Amino acid sequence: MNALAPVKLAALPLVALLAACGGGGGGGGNDANVDNQQNGSAEITWHSATRTIVERYCTGCHTDGSPLAPFPLETYEQVAAKMSAISYVLETDTMPPLGFTDITTADLSLLTRWLNDGAPQGDPSQTQYIASSFTYHGDIRRIIEEKCVTCHVEGGVAPFTLGSYEEVKAVAAAALFAVENGTMPPWPPTPGYSRLRDPRLLSPEDEYALVNWLQSDLPEGNEADYVPPKPAEPLDIDFNLQVKLPEPYTPNLRPDDHRCFAIDWPLDEFAYVTAVDVIPDQVAEVHHVIVNIIEPKDVHHYVGAGGEDGDPGWYCLGSGGIEGAPLPRQIGGWVPGNAPGTVPEGTGMGIDPDSILVVQMHYNTLVTEPVPDQSTILIATTDEVERPASGFLYTNPQFLGGGVMTIPAGEANVWHGFTVPAGVLGRLFGGPAGLQNGEPFALHNGFIHMHNLGTTARTTLIRPDGTEQVIVDIRDWDFNWQQNYGLSEEIRVNPNDLFKLECTWDNTASNQTIVDGVQLPPRDVDWGDGTGDEMCLTNLYVTKLKEGHDYSYHPTVHIETPTYRQKFKPGALVPLEFLFNNFALHEPGAHGDDAHEHDDTHGGDHSGVYEGHYHVYLDTDDDNAEHLTAWDENYYFQLPEDILPGIHTLRVSLRGTDHHALGVEETVEIEVADVAATAADALIDVNDWAEQSAADDTTFAQYRPASVECPSNSWYNEDGALEVETGFCNYLSVAQSSKTDIAEGDTVHLVLWHGSLRFDEPATGHVAIAVDGNIVWEETVAIPAGADIFDVRTTANFSAPAGSKVEYKVSNHGYNTWTLLKLEVER
């Protein structure tokens, strides 16, 4: 919900917490799960609802004495005194300001209604803060110091410091929001694929402790319980080169300025770069740095570059930003809190003496006034290395000519990608690494580069047998937090392997670049270095294979959901979301290779099995125990109704075609809450659904296509749930008589899920449930999309006696499955 009208940030109060150090992010939350108060069943007061909303979106900046906002919003009295101003900025859609985390539709509705009702204060006892077993000194301080204070420090790039209990407490609600939506700590890659070096991720245990403490009564605890984080092992790096930017530069674009500077390479002899680091001159405004090398044959493009606008250097959104110049080689970079950019041991990138450096500085002045900066680049070199490396940027050559990587204005989900044989990359760029034509090589890194419209990106290695290894996957692209990601284990790449790069962009009005506080209008975009252009490219760091190194690869599985210690009720459906690498899913007995079947005479070796399904077990290591068998990335697991409260363990085990374990497992602990059972009556019987004719299908008539193709075997009872195969059924509208009364104010609880939604072209899916002609719930889903589970409770604003017409409608294009698991009334 970003404003479309031009907005000057400096003229507005900053009613938001920055979603990342120096940069913003999009809104989050599931608006399907709106609190019952939104339906008018209870009074909305400061203590019952809006206090936590203001704390989440506003108090992080609006604190007493904060330089980020002109007045505090920490108490009811302070907020009530600014009712008119808050109402105005919400109505004009100028708060939260562009570049900050947006407020969800549900929270905006509650806050607006509360203000329109005169901002009633309510009873302080309505504000519930749970007691926490975690304390600041005993548990939280170590996490904050380890993961946060590298940015949130005096003079740092973040908007506030987190050096004390009082400072952390003051922004607890906003910090909780940032941790829960994944913007803090900033680490764009999706965990669970190829392991990367030096991740800035919270461990599941630390995230659980931090989230629970932040939403509690925030106990400080005893300072004697504090155990400092283990200091990082110091790196013994001989930085023999120190190169300053040619002249001091004062950022003049706000909040973000990207500036490139050309610097002569200081050595007269050929050398190998083994590490790069940066000493920011002005820590509060230097957000990240990319260091590139320009080959001698391309230096002429950069001679005399810069100074056109009267300032040192030149504006560059890409790595070099010089029109007509080839893409430069990236040799290093820097982001706050990361260790120096060292290359893998025994390797190095060769630099010719007549080369030049091009340094891209990303300045962010959202939390500081611009001042002159002349940062220093540190470089370690050596005369010889065991394995020379080739580092190169690569993209689809057809993109560069224009007219291929088009991103039309107004389009929300534009995809472009390409696949190239690895042997082509080795032949074109392997020379500096000493690679011969057709020789396999080692890949050491993952890197993706887009501009500001980017949303997702991925690089994948595809082997001839179909095995796919995702190198880097980014689901929420942030231009302000891009970097080169080193692999924990180098990967063997054979000439007949395929390397795939894919990117998506959002070119709608709400996702446009902000320049001097004004959001630009959308326009058609293509490849280019300019402000409004886009890119989709990767950097590869490759060497010869290491003699004697084990390059075998193995399947992996990572549990995304449920999360560590996530709470469920007895009998609940637990959503399962898995990430698989080097493993293809299929139904047992399909696609099996006889050579990979279990064979006890050979010791049951499954090291070469890269396809199959999985089993899920509850609280047992016994593979013969009762379990769920499935072959989808997303599924669900039914907890027993009589399961005891407390901590329980879910275990996922990969299986080959013949159901034998591959020795690849992961576990997660969940918590079953001790709660009183909710009185619930089923609204439907899965066996009573009947397809509606066009004459009866009046509630959803606007969605009904002219030609309905839905054979009877495309929808059916699957283990007590209604399953619809939309690969065969383009539209289904079914009805039955309700099995229980609905009274106004009752809660209708539904659980519905869909598999991965795929189609050759972008499309939409729509699903809805109605009772007695009243739409109870509906959802529109963009296709393609990953699988999802909707577990929704909504308050009925109507009454309907038993026997009323219940309707379920689903329609979309593509080959996918929709499953209605539960529809009931809770009293």
| 574-589: pLDDT as tens digits | 989 999 999 999 888 7
Q: How many CB atoms lie within 10 A of CB 701?
A: 10
Question: Strand, helix or coil at 684?
Answer: coil
Q: What local confidence, expressed as pLDDT, does residue 754 receive? A: 80
Q: How far is CA 490 from CA 444, 464, 555, in A?
A: 5, 19, 16
Check whether the bond before 185 is cis (ω within 30° of 0).
yes
Given a contact cutoff of 8 angstroms between Cβ atoms, the answer to whether 560 and 577 are in contact is yes
Q: How far is CA 369 from CA 4, 59, 284, in A?
A: 26, 22, 9
Q: How many CB atoms lie within 10 A of CB 377?
A: 22
Instruction: Name the one residue in this structure whose structure tokens are 């006034």.
Output: 369
**Regions of the chain short of the pLDDT cut 70:** 1-42, 60, 66-68, 96-102, 126-130, 318-319, 321, 337, 339, 367, 514-517, 530-531, 590-605, 676-678, 758-761, 813-815
Task: Return left, alpha or beta for 468; rule: phi > 0 is left, psi -120 to 50 is alpha, else beta.
Answer: beta
Residue 52: exposure state from Cβ atoms within 10 A (0-12, 13-18, ≥19): buried
Check whether the bond before 96 is cis (ω within 30° of 0).
yes
Q: What local confidence, expressed as pLDDT, does residue 40 receive? A: 39
Q: What local confidence, expressed as pLDDT, does residue 677 receive? A: 59
Question: Strand, helix or coil at 346?
Answer: coil
Q: What local confidence, expressed as pLDDT, does residue 515 receive? A: 65
Q: What local confidence, expressed as pLDDT, does residue 41 receive? A: 43
Cα(209)–Cα(640) distance, integer angstroms: 27
Q: What local confidence, expressed as pLDDT, does residue 667 receive? A: 98
β-partners of residue 358 are: 262, 292
- List CB contacts of 125: < 8 A, sequence separation 6 or more: 47
Cα(787)–Cα(195) distance, integer angstroms: 24
β-partners of residue 379 are: 241, 276
Cα(505)–Cα(532) distance, integer angstroms: 13
Q: What local confidence, expressed as pLDDT, does residue 778 receive? A: 93
Cα(766)–Cα(813) distance, integer angstroms: 10
Long-range CB contact pairs, 382-387, < 8 A, 24+: 382/271, 382/272, 382/274, 382/348, 383/269, 383/271, 383/272, 384/272, 385/272, 385/274, 385/346, 385/347, 385/348, 386/346, 386/347, 387/346, 387/347, 387/433, 387/442, 387/543, 387/544, 387/546
